[in-house]
Amino acid sequence: MKKLTNNLMAGAVALAFATAAVPAMAADSSEPIVIPTHNWSSQVVMAYVIGGIFENMGNNVEYVPADSQAVYEAIRNGDVTISHEVWQSSFGKSFYNAMAAGGVIDAGTHAAATLEEMGVPQHVIDNNLCPGLPNWEALKDCKDVFVTADSGGKGRWLEGPQSWHGDLMPERVDALGLGDDYVVTFAGGADALWAEVAASKKNNTGLIVFNWTPNFTDADGFVFIEFPEYTEGCRKADGGDGSCGSPKGWLKKAANYKMPKTHPAAYTAYSKLSFTTTQIGQMAALVDVDGMTHQDAATKWLADNESVWKPFTN
């Protein structure tokens, strides 16, 4: 951590000479900005990237491991200052609930478009295990490919933990008329999802699993199933019949409502900050493909992409 700070300090000094002085603004409080780390690589690397940018601007930063849903309540209470990856489909509801209760503000949207959806690993398509995929209607004729020992003769949809989307997937299975052929099983965590993906690839078996992009699985290939298009209010929770896929979602940034006052310069930079799908993919790949630590990945990314993040800071 110290090394990262030192490197950034050196960079900052060099740049301060090279570029014009930062526009005058009320100084940021020296109290640390608290950044949460969750349990997927891109988020953790981005936490250190954003922390690095803040430190470069002379702020103090702290990192705290947090649950990705509960974090919004923590931001509301002021225990955490920001959350830099608000995925529409998974966290949109927690985010807006916290906003409605007061204390959380919307600090803008990343350029990256996201998708969180059921899909199949690349080999399922390559080896034509279920002809007709990724169109969802193909599922009607190949439930046997997705049967597991404990799925009771039905094809299995492996959903993330029940806390991620509640009953969304079971409702969708029923709404699409797949209820007789498919059953939804909830995994205990992301690790369980990847264990299943790895096992199915190794043994060339079928697997329908919840996944998202950008994610480190993009590198190995992953195909999302194309469900009927998402329209406003089509989900059962919103009054629809539930027979629709996930929206191409946004990736937002959240902050505690006090941040613009306590850290005006950092907040301005944070609200300008926007990463693309490719950039987020790069961050994840440094860890997941190249095997670097999260901190080192962030240091390297910051060093390699100064032209990307420098403009945010002034």
Partner 1 sequence: MIKSFTQSKLQQFALLFIVFLALCWLVQKPEGYKYFVSAGGGNEESSNWLWRLPALLAWLPAWLADSINFVMFDWITIDVYNELLEDDEEISVVKEFTRSVSWAVLFFIQTIRELLVGGIKTIVTFTSWGFINENPWARLPGLPWTVVTGAAVLLGYNLGGRFLAILVGCALTYIALFGQWEPAMKTVSLVLVAASVSVVFGLFLGIAAYRSKAFEAFITPILGVAQTMPQFSYLIPMFVLFGLGDHAGALATIVFATPPMVRLTLLGLKSVSPEVVEAGLMSGCTRRQLMFRVMLPTARKNILIGVNQVIMGCLAMVVIASLIGATGIGDDLLKALNGLKLGKAFELGVCIVLIAITLDKLSLAWANKPIDYFADLSFSERHRNKFILLAILIGGVLLAFIGRYIFGDGINYFFIIETNKGISADKILDAGIDWFVTVLFEPLEVFKAWVFVDVLEPVRAAFRGMPVIATFVLVMGIGYIVGGIRSALVVGGYLLFIALSAWWDRALTTAYFVAIALVIAGSLGALIGILSAQNERATKVTLIVCDTLQTFPSFIYLIPAIMLFQVSNIAVLIAITPYAMIPAMRYTIEGLRNVSPALLDAGAMSGVNRMQRLLSIELPLAFPHIVLGINQTVMFALMMVIIGAMIGSTADLGELILGSLSDTKGIGNGIILGLCVAFIGLAIDHILNTWAKARKDALGLA
Name the site residues for partner 1 (rule: CB under 8 A): 3, 29-32, 36-37, 39-41, 44, 58, 60, 63-71, 73-74, 77, 79-80, 148-150, 152, 158, 161-164, 166-167, 170, 184-192, 194-196, 198-199, 202-203, 216, 258, 261-262, 287-288, 293-295
Of residues 97 and 127, the one with the C-beta less far from partner 1: 97
CB of residue 102 to partner 1, shortest distance in Å: 10
Of residues 39 and 127, the one with the C-beta less far from partner 1: 39
Q: Are 245 and 57 in contact (CB under 8 A)?
A: no
CB of residue 111 to partner 1, shortest distance in Å: 24
CB of residue 288 to partner 1, shortest distance in Å: 6
CB of residue 233 to partner 1, shortest distance in Å: 20
Residue ranges of E strands in 94-140: 104-109, 115-121
Sequence-distant (≥ 6) Cβ neighbours of residue 230 within 8 angstroms: 244, 245, 246, 247, 248
Of residues 218 and 226, the one with the C-beta less far from partner 1: 218
Report the distance separating Cα 256 and Cα 271, nearest Å.
12
Report the distance separating Cα 196 and Cα 185, nearest Å.
12
CB of residue 132 to partner 1, shortest distance in Å: 26
Of residues 131 and 239, the one with the C-beta less far from partner 1: 239
H or E element that contains 119: strand 115-121
Report the distance separating Cα 188 and Cα 177, nearest Å.
26
Of residues 102 and 131, the one with the C-beta less far from partner 1: 102
* Phi then psi dihedrals of residue 125, to 5 deg: -75, -50
At residue 244, the 3 state secondary structure works out as coil
Report the distance separating Cα 248 and Cα 229, nearest Å.
10
Q: Are 190 and 179 in contact (CB under 8 A)?
A: no
CB of residue 250 to partner 1, shortest distance in Å: 21
Of residues 58 and 226, the one with the C-beta less far from partner 1: 58
- CA dihedral (291, 293, 299, 300) in degrees, to 10, reads -10
